[in-house]
Amino acid sequence: MRGALGRDASAGGAGGGKGGDDAAAGIIRHDRKCRDLPFLALFAAFWVAMIVNSSFGFNQGSPLRLTYGLDYKGNICGSKHGDPDLSELDVRYWVNPNQVYQSGLKNSTSDLADAKSICLMECPYPAEDGLNFVCDYPEGDIRLSVDDWIDRDYDYFEYLTPDMRNSSLQLQGPCYPIIFPSINVYWSCQFIARPSNVSLKHWQQMGGVSIDENMLIDKTIHNTINYKSSVLKRYVADIGKSWPVLIVCGGLLPLFLSLIWLAMIRYFVAGMPWITVILFNALVISVTTFFYIKAGWIGNDPLTVVIGPSDPYVSIGGREINHLHAAAVLMTVVAAKVIGEVHALIIFPVVPYFALAIIYMFWFAATLYLFSSGQVLQNDCNAECCSFDLKLGKVNCDSCCGYSVHYAPHIGIAILFHLFGCYWATQFFIACSSTVIAGSVASYYWARGEISHDIPFHTVVSSLKRLLRYSLGSVALGSLVVSSVEWVRCILKALRRRLKGVDSTGESRLGKTVSSSSHCCLGCIDWTIKSVNRNAYIVIAVTGKGFCKASELATGLIMNNILRIGKVNVIGDVILYLGKLCVSLSSALFAFLMLDTHKYRSAHNKISSPLFPVLLCWALGYMVAQLFFGVVETSVETIILSFCQDAEEHDGEAQYAPPLLMETLGDTSQLQRLTQGP
């Protein structure tokens, strides 16, 4: 291990009298050349593929599809590119109640996607003293503009010819009776199975066909709105609607809090453990309380699935409420478990912070388009229906099938590829930040008074130059390893949960063997990530070695000095980890507060649930905190590794360590007692 870290012989030994910059150069610049270049090329090629993959989404996607439905012509409700212009008509309404009823019957050949639907401004309600109609978009012989049609509450029944009236009484359009009240649930009019007796009586007196009355007319639309894919689309759409919250609470707020935290660590070292623990407890309780409020378990301000005024006699829930219940319980468990148990470097993380900000903005935009990408095509159905075609001027029975978004077969792979690319890019920039910081701190340690006590800015710039010139390939390889291992770990965890669900009694030998093996693999993966993450980057920054060799050197140095490293790292790691959680929880708390305003609770900007935006702000806040707190973590680990190598090179007595570090780590007699026993 000698020569893994430390002063290069060309620097003139321990007492070289060179100036600060020259000394730092002698310390760091030895046997340095470009490493792991194929992986840098792989990283670049991967991002070319990411751009191509995203362009597929930008070309075939439309984020409006994630929120609004399609009418019977294949138009997206709320789109100005529809025929007619539907920019103000964003609520989907199924005009024929019998089609809705029949599509919900078991073994039915019809589907709700094929039932005739049009886009309205708001859900219609039956008249109190008569019968109102909702008529098809005005065209053909109906000489009304769309604005006039809207002003007339979509009703031009009085203008119909006798043939059109007779067709309408057969529920074939172009006008359809409003018999059932409906309510706007996520921009789809859900029928309430409580028909208006007055309207139904007028309909029967006019000679209209019988209309099916059953709870099924309610459940059919409800089940469609609450289908898993529909809920997932709304969650992704929530991200697009709440982008100001993501910028403020996921980007700017954690940046501000992280800088304040680093300043407090610098000037209030003694009190930071208590401040961190108390603040963390307060924040985790606050976020948990918000989940309980929105889940409806505390107070009277739960999440509502209804947009606009709601019917006081009807209570409508959805999967979003169930997901908030699960999140509230999970936060309770987490809270109970946790509660029961340098100037230039501070500025430097702003560089990877802005790089990640640009990547995340591109990534989020591409995500919205990828999730909505596909072609709007007419369904292939066997439905038997007829409706009046205003352009043809007669009843047409040929175009009964509705329209749906047909996704490409490889869309699932494209989305997974997109997610992995984001994670790899995040790990890459965190690794770059750690490498630059490690190179700067190592220069400070091995100079021993030859440079100033505060790490100068040019030392950070020099470390950055070395990274860009020599070590980007190694960083790309390291971030790829960490990203791949994390994904394997997630797959193994999912496999273990599936095995527990299948064999809950634990009697299967195969199940026990696979579960034990996966548990062992998870332990090895955790150890691998911890050992190769920052410590390997430290060795890369100091020695210029490739990633694999640097990981080997770092692991050997850690194993040889495990007691010394553990003696310092344990408490510091816990405090820094709690600090990251404080920043991320603050981001989540402020996201809750911003999303609880009128802007995100009504009209077009209404989000289906605060769950995704809040969790995303939490994750973004944690990533930003990790960038800035990495200054302290990487600095501490670099100093410790340098001290251990210094001691190994000088027969157990570190020559470059300052007195305070010697006092903390240099007690060899105590170390001897711990290793040899009494």
Taking only the tens place, the pLDDT of each residue in 623-642 is 888 888 888 778 878 877 87
Query: Residue 177's pLDDT is what?
Result: 92
Query: Residue 344's pLDDT is what?
Result: 58
**CA 677 to the chain's CA centroid:** 50
Query: Residue 568's pLDDT is what?
Result: 56
Could you give the percent of the chain with pLDDT greater than 90?
A: 4
The band of 9, judged by pLDDT with boundaries at 50, 70 and 90, is very low
- Which residue type sits at 70? L
The band of 133, judged by pLDDT with boundaries at 50, 70 and 90, is very high
When the pLDDT of each residue in the chain is averaged and rounded to a whole number, the result is 78
Query: Given CA atoms 67, 72, 74, 76 in this order, what sign does their dihedral have?
Result: negative
Q: Distance (Å, rounded) from C-alpha 342 to C-alpha 379?
A: 63
Query: Residue 451's pLDDT is what?
Result: 44
Q: Is the pLDDT reported for residue 452 higher than 50?
A: no
Give the helix/strand (H/E) hosting 330: helix 319-340
* φ, ψ of residue 191 in degrees (nearest 5): -70, 145
pTM greater than 0.95 (yes/no): no
The band of 502, judged by pLDDT with boundaries at 50, 70 and 90, is low
Cβ atoms of residues 383 and 110 within 8 Å: yes
Count, residues in the chain: 678
Q: Is the pLDDT reported for residue 2 higher than 60?
A: no
Q: What's the rounded mean pLDDT across residues 536-551?
A: 84
Query: Cα angle at 557 between 553 and 558, to 5 degrees?
Result: 120
Taking only the tens place, the pLDDT of each residue in 260-315 is 887 887 777 667 766 777 787 788 888 888 888 887 787 777 777 777 666 555 56
**CA 293 to the chain's CA centroid:** 22
Cβ atoms of residues 627 and 433 within 8 Å: yes
**CA 360 to the chain's CA centroid:** 10
Query: Residue 465's pLDDT is what?
Result: 85
262 against 31, higher pLDDT: 262
Cβ atoms of residues 66 and 237 within 8 Å: yes
- 16-24 LR contacts (CB < 8 Å, sep 24+): 16/450, 17/450, 18/450, 19/450, 20/447, 20/450, 20/451, 20/452, 20/456, 21/451, 21/458, 21/459, 21/462, 23/443, 23/447, 23/450, 23/451, 24/443, 24/447, 24/451, 24/459, 24/462
Cβ atoms of residues 321 and 303 within 8 Å: yes
Q: Is the pLDDT reported for residue 23 higher than 80?
A: no
- Specify the 3-state DSSP secondary structure of 193: coil
Which ranges of 70-141 does DSSP label H, i.e. alpha helix?
Answer: 97-103
Q: Distance (Å, rounded) from C-alpha 7 to C-alpha 580?
A: 34
DSSP string, 429-482: HHHHHHHHHHHHHHHHHHHTTSS-SSPPHHHHHHHHHHIIIIIHHHHHHHHHHH
- Which residue type sits at 355? A
HEC profile for 563-615?
Answer: HHHHHHHHHHHHHHHHHHHHHHHHHHHHHHHHHCCHHHCCHHHCCCCCHHHHH
Q: What's the rounded mean pLDDT across residues 107-125?
A: 85
Q: Is the pLDDT reported for residue 438 higher than 70?
A: yes
Least confident of 404-413, 426-435, 444-453: 444-453
Cβ atoms of residues 474 and 43 within 8 Å: no
Taking only the tens place, the pLDDT of each residue in 219-274 is 888 888 888 888 888 888 888 888 889 899 988 999 888 888 878 877 776 677 66
Q: Is the pLDDT reported for residue 470 higher than 60?
A: yes
Least confident of 362-366, 514-518, 651-655, 674-678: 674-678
Taking only the tens place, the pLDDT of each residue in 395-418 is 777 777 788 888 877 888 888 889
374 against 9, higher pLDDT: 374
Q: Distance (Å, rounded) from C-alpha 474 to C-alpha 35?
A: 6
Q: Distance (Å, rounded) from C-alpha 392 to C-alpha 265?
A: 76
DSSP string, 195-264: --HHHHHHHHHTTPPP---STHHHHHHHHHHTSHHHHHHHHHHHHHHTHHHHHIIIIIHHHHHHHHHHHH
Q: Is the pLDDT reported for residue 672 higher than 50?
A: no
Cβ atoms of residues 101 and 125 within 8 Å: no
The CA radius of gyration of the chain, in Å to the nearest whole number, is 32
Query: Residue 14's pLDDT is what?
Result: 39
Q: Distance (Å, rounded) from C-alpha 197 to C-alpha 528?
A: 70
By 3-state DSSP, what share of the chain in percent is helix, strand and coil, each rounded to 5? 65, 5, 30
Q: Which two tokens stand for residue 580?
A: 């990251």
309 against 38, higher pLDDT: 38
Taking only the tens place, the pLDDT of each residue in 554-603 is 877 777 776 666 555 555 667 778 888 889 999 999 998 888 888 887 76
Mark residue 154 as left, alpha or beta (left: phi above 0; alpha: psi -120 to 50; beta: remaining).
left
End-to-end CA distance of the chain: 29
Query: Residue 119's pLDDT is what?
Result: 92
Please choose, from the candidates 573, 584, 615, 574, the residue with its C-alpha nearest in 3D space to the C-alpha of residue 283: 584
Surface-to-core class of residue 395, CB atoms within 10 Å of its CB (0-12 exposed, 13-18 middle, 19+ buried): middle
Surface-to-core class of residue 554, CB atoms within 10 Å of its CB (0-12 exposed, 13-18 middle, 19+ buried): buried
Strands of 42-178 (E only): list them.
Answer: 91-94, 117-120, 133-135, 175-177
Q: Is the pLDDT reported for residue 389 higher than 70?
A: yes
Q: Which two tokens stand for residue 57?
A: 């989404």
Residues 6+ apart with CB under 8 A from 144: 138, 152, 156, 159
Q: Is the pLDDT reported for residue 12 higher than 50?
A: no
DSSP string, 332-371: HHHHHHHHH--HHHHHTTHHHHHHHHHHHHHHHHHHHHHH
Write down the residue that tokens 């020695």 correspond to.
Answer: 543
* φ, ψ of residue 661 in degrees (nearest 5): -70, -35
Q: Distance (Å, rounded) from C-alpha 342 to C-alpha 437?
A: 10
